Amino acid sequence: MAARFEYSERVSLLSGISSIALPKNPFGNQVQAMETLEAIEGFAVETVEGLIFTVKGLIHPPGRLIAYLRFVPDPEGDRKRGGVFYRRVYGFEEQRQILHGRFPDYIGFDPVFGFEVQGVPGRCAQKIYDPCLRLRQISEKGARDPLEENALAFAELLKEAAGVSISSLGVSGSVLGELHRPGSDIDLVVYGDGESRAVHRALGRLLESSRGPVRRLGETELAALHASHKTDTPLSFPDFARLQSRKSNEGYFEQVPYFIRFMKGKGESEERYGDSYFEPLGRAAIRFRVADDSSAIFTPCRYGVEDVLFQDRAGEIDLREVVSFRGRFSDQVRSGEQATARGSLERVVARDGGVHYRLAVGGESGDYLLSHGPG
């Protein structure tokens, strides 16, 4: 039986952040806000056992960060930091096996999201990695290797091109925890609605330029990326290449692959943990028209939908949105386009009793989101 998370823990995540008593009831009036825990997507958290998790999303239970296992100490690992070898854990199934088998406190059923999630309780967190502070550290102390140098140079280029503060940019991925190696990618994150949109526009201009250090993926690189995705995102190569060709969050800087996440800033997300709860209703495939892509570039991304047709269900279902917590589905479809998707159908129940439905894409193998063009 899956473990149930406890919501009455005391948290002391970081020096300078006060310990606070948390409510037992996740729907109580004093639900813990993420601003207090000081970690959202792009951050990482290290546990007392030395496991390193990457934080996911903007909404988290009281006293616990929703985060997914990324690095584990391993004498045979191919990354080294402070005399300790680490191994990267890639697949969800391997993550689940490790956690259920050895660290069950870090995985369990969440009563609001309605399914099993990974997460780190505050009592088990010994260090939070902040991507903005890490970028500042590289800037102030100097890059220690070519990848850090490129990450800093890319961030500086985006800052200048977009006219935003460097404080809105951060470095995530393996560089965040100093676990990168030769061949690692550049992973950047941008925080803030306005800042993200400005950087996204600037990046598009840089990619359209025939000169400069930023470029799109070539055909061979697209084929390699498609091969790594197709095991759990079944798109044909022509469809995959067509959709990637109009994105800007993934490409090359100085011949190094990059990936950029665009995030809402603190206080910009109106939703809080417990405002709604989600009831999984199984798998579903739909055809629809994209009505609203205003949150397409962000992680998580949301698409307002209309003219929805279920391909495998009968009856009236008030499905209003397609959402994904995976960066690969950001900026995937555009307003006015016809599209198809497969994912998990969820019933969304708000505090005031309102009910609607959404399709969550990217949580299971076989999920996809595909534009078929204007329609």
In 3D, which of 7, 2, 5 has the Cα closest to residue 110? 5
Q: What is the mean pLDDT of residues 3-10?
A: 36
List, for residues 250-281, the tens digit of each pLDDT value.
Answer: 999 999 999 999 999 877 877 889 999 999 99
CA atoms within a 13 Å half-sphere pointing along the CA-CB vector of 348: 19
Task: Please tell me the predicted confidence (pLDDT) of residue 36.
Answer: 42
Task: Please tell me the predicted confidence (pLDDT) of residue 13.
Answer: 27
Q: Report the C-alpha gap between 5 and 22 in whole angstroms.
A: 13
pLDDT for 342 beyond 60: yes
**Phi and psi based region of residue 151 (left: phi greater than 0; alpha: psi -120 to 50; beta: remaining):** alpha
Q: Are 337 and 374 in contact (CB under 8 A)?
A: yes
Sign of CA dihedral 114, 265, 328, 107: negative
For all residues of the chain together, what is the average pLDDT?
Answer: 89
List, for residues 39-74, the tens digit of each pLDDT value.
Answer: 999 999 999 999 999 999 998 999 999 999 999 999
pLDDT for 81 beyond 90: yes
List, for residues 343-358, the tens digit of each pLDDT value.
Answer: 999 999 999 999 999 9
Q: How does 146-182 read in b/e, with b if 16+ C-beta sit within 10 Å?
A: ebbebbbebbebbbebbebebebbbbbbbbbbbbbee
Of all helices (H) and strands (E), which one includes residue 201? helix 193-208
* Better pLDDT: 99 or 9: 99
List, for residues 86-129, the tens digit of each pLDDT value.
Answer: 999 988 899 999 999 999 999 999 999 999 999 999 999 999 99
Task: Please tell me the predicted confidence (pLDDT) of residue 90.
Answer: 86
Q: How confident is the model at residue 18 (pLDDT cuts 50, 70, 90)?
A: very low
Q: How confident is the model at residue 316 (pLDDT cuts 50, 70, 90)?
A: confident
pLDDT for 5 beyond 50: no
Sign of CA dihedral 76, 149, 16, 69: negative
List, for residues 232-254, the tens digit of each pLDDT value.
Answer: 899 999 999 999 999 999 999 99
β partners of residue 44: 54, 129
Q: Are 126 and 46 in contact (CB under 8 A)?
A: yes
- Mind listing the domains of the chain with CATH numbers? 10-129 (no CATH), 131-263 (no CATH), 276-374 (2.40.50)
